[in-house]
Amino acid sequence: MGRRLLSLSSSLSISFCFFAFLQDAVFLVVANRNQSLTPTSSMPINRDLYHFSGDLMEHIKALVHRHPGKLTMETIKSRNKGYRAEISVITYFRGGREYDDRSKFRILLSFGQHGRELITSELAYRILSILSEEQFLPNMDPTSLNSTLDKLVIKVVPMENLNGRRLVEAGDLCERRNGRGVDLNRNWSVDWGKKEKDYDPYEENPGTSPFSEPETQIMRKLALSFDPHVWINVHSGMEALFMPYDHKNTTPDGPPSHQMKLLLEEVNYLHCQKRCMIGSGGGSVGYLAHGTATDFMYDVVKVPMAFTFEIYGDRGASSKDCFKMFNPTDLSTFNRVLNEWSAAFFTIFKSGPHKLGEVHSKVPVSTLDKGVSIDDYLDGYLMERSSRYGKKMEVLELGMQEIRTYFRLFLLSSVLLLFMFCSRISKSKYNRPVISAIPL
């Protein structure tokens, strides 16, 4: 009887788990179906203002080709579980090649992390056009500008989320996530996976684990190898100049935080007419965001000045009119946004080094701090060694990846063996012969 009860209990448990799984699966299917049936936007993309993603990248590629003494371009590809992604990185360095000159002030800029924010990638193109001197900033002295740029290495990611951008261009104008439904600005390791009461999986899906997405894997390695002094993640949806932190309602302590705020106040005064919100993302925007790129850059990569810029937002737009909410729809506003914010970035280029002080004040990325995961540390160490000695270390890096993989497999197999051992003990317990108390 005991064995039958055990078997029945096991069957019920399995059935219950399967039913729960089936229920969740049906819920997700229905939710996705309902979402797909919801009108995403009442206004289409204005093709007189905005490039298709492929056309935009071709224009940038041609720009780089015309200015080999200033710009270089590389395309980095990665994949995970059948999902592929690629990110193009343009480097500005006067003289044509970077040569790993660590005395330069290093700036890393990322645009288009959310697919629906098309205006950000257009701004990237405008900034690159000014850096190449095919376009010019009004009221900017060329001699002063060249003197500033001589001291800089600038890496620009014009379109971090190419797959998500393609979904937007196909008609899903409210899509912010990548090609498999993960919000790339929730997929970083600092405070990853925490969900607020108003958590929306369609908007904020953090992925299955930190850095589960090829796009964030590429950006992490780029940041660790480049080791920037300034990081700016460019978005749209409002007008704001944010500094860490996104996952809590505070700003960092100490002089670097004060210098960040001074720089943002200068940009707000000169280019935003004091209308931009300034402060921590978590304390200013009205909600906390967990697993963001800017918090990772500040806490793990140790970027002294890490920012999130929000360059445009139409508060009067309907919540279903995503294109209008995140992007200018008329020529006058489109040009104003690009002119004001490209000038703002060149103020960052000029004032950033002065606000930060000496270049060597940058904390080495290889410092193993309390909150740094072993994967982040190993990647940072390998990338720093590669940068310091000018040699690629693909073999060593691959070896470390293999070690981590085997270690995870070892842990998994240990758990399975423990489970099998416990199962055999349980079976042997109930398989013991029953001795009858009734004499034959």
For 364-377, what is each residue's pLDDT tens digit? 554 434 344 445 44
What is the predicted pLDDT for the residue at 423? 72
Q: Let me know: does 107 contact 348? Beta carbons within 8 Å.
A: yes
Rounded CA separation 187/205 (Å): 8
Q: Looking at the predicted structure, is the pLDDT value of residue 203 above 80? A: yes
Question: Model confidence over 269-294: pLDDT tens digits?
Answer: 999 999 999 999 998 887 899 999 99
What is the predicted pLDDT for the residue at 429? 52
Average pLDDT over residues 133-137: 93
Residue 87 lies in a domain: yes
333 by DSSP, 3-state: which? helix
What is the predicted pLDDT for the residue at 84? 97
Q: Which two tokens stand for residue 12?
A: 């019920």
Rounded CA separation 387/23 (Å): 50
Q: Single out the catalytic residue among 134, 310, 340, 384.
A: 310
Average pLDDT over residues 4-24: 41
| Low-confidence winner among 23-37, 193-207, 241-255, 304-318 (lowest mean pLDDT) | 23-37
Higher pLDDT, 438 or 150: 150
Residue 417 lies in a domain: no
The dihedral built from the CA positions of residue 306, 159, 122 and 171, taken in this order, carries a sign that is negative
Question: Model confidence over 289-343: pLDDT tens digits?
Answer: 999 999 999 999 999 999 999 999 999 999 889 999 999 999 999 999 999 999 9
Residue 174 lies in a domain: yes
Average pLDDT over residues 184-208: 94
Instruction: Specify the CATH number for the domain of residue 97.
Output: 3.40.630.10
Q: Looking at the predicted structure, is the pLDDT value of residue 417 above 90? A: no
Residue 411 lies in a domain: no
What is the predicted pLDDT for the residue at 100? 56
Residue 121 lies in a domain: yes
* Confidence label for 418 from pLDDT (cuts 50, 70 and 90): confident
What is the predicted pLDDT for the residue at 160? 98
Q: Looking at the predicted structure, is the pLDDT value of residue 408 above 80? A: no
Q: Looking at the predicted structure, is the pLDDT value of residue 359 above 50? A: no
Rounded CA separation 210/395 (Å): 24
Query: What's the domain range around 117?
Result: 40-364
pTM, full prediction:
0.76
Q: Looking at the predicted structure, is the pLDDT value of residue 3 above 60? A: no
Residue 217 lies in a domain: yes
* Beta strand 152-157 pairing with 105-110: parallel
| Low-confidence winner among 229-233, 367-371, 386-390 (lowest mean pLDDT) | 386-390
Rounded CA separation 404/115 (Å): 32
Residue 354 lies in a domain: yes
Rounded CA separation 203/357 (Å): 39
Residues 157-174 as b/e (b if ≥16 CB within 10 A, e otherwise) read: bbbbbbbbbbbbbeebbb
What is the predicted pLDDT for the residue at 415? 77
* Confidence label for 361 from pLDDT (cuts 50, 70 and 90): low
The domain total for the chain is 1
In the residue annotation, 265 being an active-site residue is answered as: no
Residue 3 lies in a domain: no
